[in-house]
Amino acid sequence: MTKSTSLLLLSALGLHAAEPPVPAKIEFNRDVRPILSDNCFYCHGNDPKHREADLRLDIREEALSAKAFIPGKGAESELVSRILTTDEDDLMPPPDSHKKLTPQQKEILKKWIDQGAAYQQHWAYEKPVRAAVPAGKNGVDVLVQKRLAEVGLKPSPQADPRTLIRRLYLDLIGLPPKPEEVAAFERDHSPAAYAKIVDGLLKNPHFGERMAIGWLDVVRFADTIGYHSDNPHNVWPYRDYVIRAFNSNKRFDRFTIEQIAGDLLPDASQETRVASAFNRLLLTTEEGGAQAKDYEQRMLTDRVRAVGNAWLGQTTGCSQCHDHKFDPWTQRDFYSLGAFFADIKEPILGRREPGMLVLDEAGQKKQADIAQRLAALQADFAKARPELAAGQTAWEKQALEAVNSSSLWQPLKQVTAASAKKNVAIKADKEGVVRGTIDAKRNERKQNDGTDTYTLTAKLPAGTTGIRIEALKEKLRGIGLASNGNFVLSEIALSSGGKKQSGKITVSHASATYEQKTFPASASIDGIKDQKNNGWGVLGGTGADQALYLELAEPLAEANTSVTFTLTFGWGDNHEMANLRLSTTSAPKPIRAPGTALPSAEIAAILKTAPEKRTAAQKGQLASAYKQIAPELRELRSKIATVEKEKADFENSAPKCIVSVSDTNKRTVRILPRGNWMDESGEVVKASLPGYLPKPKIEGRDLNRLDLAQWLVSKDNPLTARTVMNRLWKQFFGIGLSKVLDDLGAQGEPPVNPALLDWLACEFMDSGWDIQHMIRIIVDSATYQQVSTSTKELTAADPYNRECARQSPFRLDAELVRDNALTISGLLVPKIGGPSVKPYQPAKYWENLNFPTREWQNDSGEGLYRRGLYTWWQRTFLQPSLLAFDAPSREECVAERNRSNIPQQALVLLNDPTYVEAARTFAARVLSECTGDIAQRITWAFEQVLQRKPSAEELKTLTSLYDKQFADYQKDVASAEALLKTGAAAVPAALNKSELAAWTHVTRVLLNLHETITRS
Amino acid sequence: MSTFSPLTRRAILGHTAQGLGSVALASLLQPQLLRAASQGVLGRLPLPQKAKRVIWLTMAGGPSQLELFDYKPKLAEMDGKPMPESFTKGQQLAQLQGQKLVCKGPMFSFQKYGRCQMELSELLPHIGSAADDICLVRSMTTEAINHDPAHMFMNTGAQIAGRPSMGAWVTYGLGSEADDLPGFVVMMSTGKGRNPQPIAARQWSSGFLPSKFQGVQLRSLGDPVLYLTSPNGVTRERQGRDFAAINSLNKQHAALCDDPEIATRIAHYEMAFQMQASVPELMDISGEGAKTLELYGCQPGDGSFASNCLLARRLAERGTRFIQLYHRDWDHHSLLREELPLRAKEVDRACAALIKDLKQRGMFDDTLIVFSGEFGRTPMAQGNKGPVGRDHHNKAMSMWLAGAGVQRGVTFGSTDDLGYAAQENITTVHDLHATMLHQLGIQHDAFSFKFQGLDARLSGVEGAKVIKKILA
């Protein structure tokens, strides 16, 4: 189309949407407030800093005292003359605001003043009023029909059974019905048939999944932190909590309280603590150079916006910098609300903690069992052991000798240390002690294969005859990094000189203060470094320092010889040394380990004290130290180490969730002038509830999150029930009663049917915040059960179907588009809950992620076929086929998803391996489950997808497609085979490849249909 | 509105509650209009449209203006001396916060380029050769100081996620002239260096605008557009049969239920089928000829910034409205002396080639080119790891603009003696947005979208100003 015609068209369309006539009786909230709010409040509203001419129009008294208008006399009022004037200097709104009143709006304002300029409190801040509904009648129907009568519309007829059951399935569980279920429903003419379906679906465990999708958007649930590196945080147990909450019909007030303050409840449990992960779902950063104060402020504002969006239907964001211009929110309200979260224990910058263990019943049993076994062993170990006395005396003598001869050894203080694989981060301190810690990030990313090699370098004195490598326990559980405290030194090699001139230094003998059975010291110098079971190990002796003594074949000739020590730890499972210290001696050969390890400095001091002068405590310390090496206790020590390892392994692999933990040391919250975190001149504020809403009087103590949560779901709060019901309405009718779901304030839209929204809110609260009760009312209504098709007249009168004189068709949510295809193909794995999964994603989609760089590894097996809501939610790069269908990145709370219709959706449904695989698996079902001719098979497939039979024309289109594709593939079997290799699912060997490929095209077309991804 | 059925209007709204303004709907009223999907909401533009399209060269990581664009002899004198506290007291710093601040003189020399005698780094000889065509701005400032928020601010005018990127705003306002290619395209390249900062997809998000205005990433590896390629074994002919069957069945269904969303879907299936051909054609630069490849300094399929510049020109020719190239790895906290020349080399020639190429095709006058990072770098040294570099900085940064009614051969604004803060003609990111919109014919303070009760604007609410002085 040419530019000129398009311009013509544009101007023909213009901006003049048909305006309804000016009502006879002007109502402030419905007619006037939207005009004032959009055009006037910015300069004449709630925000004093931005108020012009000292005039505010949002409060009648103020407007009157400023002489803005004379009630009853529109023509004489300043306001009216200012909006009607042609003088640009006087005109309101001023031309530079780019705001312009329509003639109709001007007329409304004048008429309103003529009629007395009555104000109403903004509708959403008044308590909802429950309209009278005759007993036994459905409130939705009564109030919708009342409104329809007012606007002169009639309800539409009931939809046919097939449409109804499909609608119910998609709305309530997000999965399509089976053709048999549809047929049974069509046959069942009993009055209870519909209710039976509803009952069944509300009890179906997939109901919770369906309901969770919307809530997870609202609370911005995702698997990653959002900023910069966008690394993972552990929160998926929260997602499962939400699913369970909907399935068990947890009352919404309790649901709210658990999420905001589940940790503060007197009966706090694992369940409520996991719920409190809500407070941790916000965006966080690990970026270097980020300033704590900056992010403290970002996190506070993020949380206030979340509460505003999820419960209050209020846009609070602008009060970060100034009082709200349209609603009564003040900047103080904003920061005071943020102060409720100042007790949450969390790092402001950097990595989140792994989180609380979240155990199911079996897990809890196992945990208790391990704890019990460990306690029993430890109690056994702690028993007084008089039988060890003789051994202890001998050890004391040996140990004292070791202490005394230790003067022959000089520790090396200047050591450099590096690990080859960086699975263990190692570093030498000023005293030459090398400390290693397992790199948690690598562990998390499963990049740690459990082995590593340490390279240490130091300058050794001339005449060195022996080298000692001590493994120090310090405060660790053991002297190795393995979860049982052990290590296995596969090999140690020494070389002299730098890289260029290296010479091997031969070790003639190795001995140790302790050797694990079959893991002798000698195995560490036998030249074998790549056999798992070959090396020096210390299990049974991990509770005390141990040392390896190396005797050099030849004393070092040169002074300051630079020596490189290469320590290979090849056993795996992080059997590396934790802390180690190098020492040298020039004592004459042989260099042998003493009978016992050099005791710690503390024990050494006790040993030097004459026995009779030792205190009882010192004696106890000696006995404990001896227990760590007493040969008699060797077995017991090994047992303890084994159970400790079992415990550590259990805890490492158990699900975890970051949750709210209250810190008595709260962060200071102050009002930040203009939102500037560097400006600390603002007043410090305590947690308090917004000033403009009714709230309980709490005195004598600071308010906490529990107070906030209880206030949100108190019956005095006019916003929460309305906000939640408005969102729920959207799920079943495609659009909210007030269409701006996240703003019930002045700039939102007054509900199209205020009595209905109020009734729903009241019924919701009166039912005890029972979500399933409300859903039942909605889906039981005749309003819900209407056809979604329209008539010309109806469309003309109510183009956006705001009055609900019919149902609306709308596209399925992103996750459900996927679930639908997987269900039809038979691939869906209906498992509920668990860690997020990684279905197919294009390679390199994450190439712009860093710290670290990552590649998405497709899951194998059932992880490929789970419902969409379990897909790994990477905030900065959301799985692209979900993204194409408007799944939000969940960086911010989203009450309302876009519902777009874009070319990328066609590419996804046609080419994403998920859908190609679904099509070919579905095709295999067609061939193996339906034995008819082509027409019968197409009909069968059609019924699987759309639960109806194809028309003759549809049948013809698909038959012709099948014939052409089949003929084509018969000539090109290689292509058929290539197509059938898409995806991981097996191809049934018995089927003809060309036939299967041709059917794959038919099923692919079916999965792509508009009707397939639409709920009508 | 009376001549058009409201049902059709609803189609366009697509049941989105936060719908477009009524003009936005106009473009989509007829299937043939839908196909082109080329009209924006603005219709007749209030200002003369100097720029028909934008090519934004984003140097991600924050290139050092002190080595590239803003020569400071006084800073050279102060090299190694403490940074005077009068400059830095109470200021926001990133990694240098709380550390000893020492001046670091420019690490490369500068020279005068062109008739206009523009002072630029020795590292940018090719851009220097185009000095008479560009406008260098030395007085840009930003609000953010960490990469992620700074990119967000530069792209969306806000540091909070969820706002539309400029490319989305512009295609929303103006539509696109490309029938079978996206209107807002993003391409990435990475310096052959160290460890580049990540870039999030939200940088080209449509935010609260309809998803169709989202930037589409053209990738050099794998499918150029995600899911573009038909499955193995499915030839274009076989794919075409499926498309035809889908559209035929959708049309049959539309006749029954009269849901206008179906017409939209049919149109988008057609566009998708066309994209499957047009995008590979676009991406294939092998037919450009040795001379052009030599001009840019690239090879087909090398995924380089230079290749992307050439692709940007091809997109511009095909009517794409907003083209944004990211070149990553400019974050030189350390090793600046070693790494910066490599990055400069990767972009210098291609930037100049793009200007030259657009000029010779007569497209320079209506293409707005912008070259910028997300923030500047400090005059203070940073040496936390390895040899010296510079920290993030938001008080001063340099950038350049070219083409489309922007002054040529001009240096605008300046910083103080040590290059710490912009001093003369201080400009902000919102000013930049206002100016870019202005060149596109859009009045920035009247271009808004209702979001969360506010008239949200790209250029913010703080009174951004068009930088008139840099406009011809």
Query: CATH no. for residue B337?
Result: 3.40.720.10
Domain membership of residue B376 (yes or no) is yes
Same domain, B144 and B201: yes
User: What pLDDT was estimated at residue B20?
Assistant: 32
For residue B16, the enclosing domain spans 1-36
Here the tokens at position A416 are 């450099």
Burial of A926 (0-12, 13-18, 19+ CB in 10 A): buried
CB B154 within 8 Å of CB B429: yes
User: Could you tell me if A1004 lies within 8 Å of chain B, comparing CB atoms?
Assistant: yes
- The values of phi and psi at residue A875, to 5°, are -60, -45
Same domain, B324 and B181: yes
CB A495 within 8 Å of CB A563: yes
Q: How many helices (H) and strands (E) does chain A have?
A: 35, 18
User: Chain B contacts of A744, Cβ < 8 Å?
Assistant: none
Tell me how far apart the terminal alpha carbons of chain A are, to the nearest angstrom: 33
Q: Which of B90, B273, B453 sits opposite A745 (nearest CB)?
A: B453
Same domain, B158 and B20: no
Closest approach of B291 to chain A, Cα-based (Å): 31
* Contact criterion met (CB < 8 Å) for B160 and A746: no
Same domain, B347 and B459: yes
* Cα separation, A321 vs A330, whole angstroms: 10
Domain membership of residue B179 (yes or no) is yes
User: What pLDDT was estimated at residue A379?
Assistant: 95
Burial of A400 (0-12, 13-18, 19+ CB in 10 A): middle
Interface confidence (ipTM) of the complex: 0.81
Instruction: Give the C-alpha distances (Å, rounded to integers) separating A359 from A38, A140, A649, A835, B203.
Output: 52, 42, 14, 13, 39
Domain membership of residue B272 (yes or no) is no
Mutate to test the interface with B, among A3, A13, A162 (most CBs of B within 10 A): A13
CB A109 within 8 Å of CB A35: yes
Q: How many domains does chain B have?
A: 2
* Cα separation, A562 vs A503, whole angstroms: 11
Q: For A734, name the nearest residue in chain B, comparing CA atoms only.
A: B15
Q: For B230, name the nearest residue in chain A, comparing CA atoms only.
A: A911
| 3-state SS class at A439 | coil
Same domain, B151 and B27: no
Sequence length of chain B is 472
Residues of chain B with pLDDT under 70: 1-38, 193-194, 384-386
Q: Which of A10, A743, A958 sits opposite B452 (nearest CB)?
A: A743
- The values of phi and psi at residue A159, to 5°, are -70, 160
* Contact criterion met (CB < 8 Å) for B22 and A13: yes
* Contact criterion met (CB < 8 Å) for B17 and A896: yes
Alpha helices, H only, A609-749:
616-627, 634-653, 705-712, 720-733
Same domain, B28 and B167: no
Q: Which 756-795 residues of chain A touch chain B by CB within 8 A?
A: 788-790, 792, 795
Mutate to test the interface with A, among B177, B238, B327, B443 (most CBs of A within 10 A): B238
- Indicate yes or no: pTM above 0.90: no
Q: For A11, name the nearest residue in chain B, comparing CA atoms only.
A: B43
* Cα separation, A20 vs A35, whole angstroms: 15
Q: For A227, name the nearest residue in chain B, comparing CA atoms only.
A: B148
Domain membership of residue B286 (yes or no) is no
* Contact criterion met (CB < 8 Å) for B17 and A790: no
Q: Which of A877, A880, A898 sits opposite B210 (nearest CB)?
A: A898
Give B226-266 pLDDT, tens digit per residue.
999 999 999 999 999 999 999 999 999 998 887 778 988 99
Domain membership of residue B463 (yes or no) is yes
Domain membership of residue B295 (yes or no) is no
**DSSP H/E element including A488:** strand A488-489
Closest approach of A385 to chain B, Cα-based (Å): 55
* Contact criterion met (CB < 8 Å) for B227 and A10: no
Cβ neighbours of residue B218 closer than 8 Å, sequence gap 6 or more: B185, B186, B187, B224, B225, B279, B282, B283, B311
CA A95, A100, A101, A102: dihedral to nearest 10 degrees?
A: 130
Same domain, B213 and B188: yes
Domain membership of residue B93 (yes or no) is yes
CB B196 within 8 Å of CB A850: yes
Q: How many helices (H) and strands (E) does chain B have?
A: 15, 17
Same domain, B69 and B22: no
Q: For B268, name the nearest residue in chain A, comparing CA atoms only.
A: A903
* Cα separation, A346 vs A349, whole angstroms: 9
Mutate to test the interface with A, among B4, B227, B392 (most CBs of A within 10 A): B227
Mutate to test the interface with A, among B213, B265, B334 (most CBs of A within 10 A): B265
Domain membership of residue B84 (yes or no) is yes
| 3-state SS class at A537 | strand
Same domain, B325 and B178: yes
| A546-580 residues labelled b (16+ CB within 10 A) or e (exposed) | bbbbbbbeeebeeeebebbbbbbbbbebbbbbbbb
| B407-446 residues labelled b (16+ CB within 10 A) or e (exposed) | bbbbbbbbbbbbbbbbbebbbbbbbbbbbbbbbbbbebbe
User: What pLDDT was estimated at residue A818?
Assistant: 98
Same domain, B451 and B309: yes
Q: For A809, name the nearest residue in chain B, comparing CA atoms only.
A: B259
**Other CB atoms within 10 Å distance of the CB of residue A211:** 23
> What is the identity of the amino acid at A58?
D
Q: Which of B97, B261, B273 sits opposite A291 (nearest CB)?
A: B97
Q: For A967, name the nearest residue in chain B, comparing CA atoms only.
A: B238
Q: Closest Cα to residue A207, out of A702, A692, A830?
A: A830
Same domain, B187 and B126: yes
| 3-state SS class at A251 | coil
| Blockwise average pLDDT, block size 10, chain A, 1016 residues | 36 42 81 86 83 85 88 89 88 86 90 89 90 95 95 95 97 97 96 96 98 97 94 97 98 98 97 98 90 92 94 83 78 94 96 95 96 96 90 89 84 91 90 89 78 93 93 88 92 80 86 92 91 91 91 89 92 92 91 83 89 91 89 91 92 95 95 86 93 87 96 95 97 92 83 95 98 98 96 86 94 97 98 97 89 88 97 95 92 86 93 98 97 96 97 97 97 97 94 97 98 96
Here the tokens at position B55 are 């090519």
* Contact criterion met (CB < 8 Å) for A891 and B162: yes
* Contact criterion met (CB < 8 Å) for B14 and A900: yes
User: Chain A contacts of B260, Cβ < 8 Å?
Assistant: none
* Contact criterion met (CB < 8 Å) for B253 and A1010: yes
Here the tokens at position A136 are 């036994």
CA A4, A10, A14, A18 dihedral sign is: positive
User: Could you tell me if A799 lies within 8 Å of chain B, comparing CB atoms?
Assistant: yes
Mutate to test the interface with B, among A293, A295, A1010 (most CBs of B within 10 A): A1010
Same domain, B200 and B332: yes
* Contact criterion met (CB < 8 Å) for A1001 and B241: yes
CA B58, B59, B60, B62 dihedral sign is: negative
CA atoms within 13 A on the CB side of A697: 1
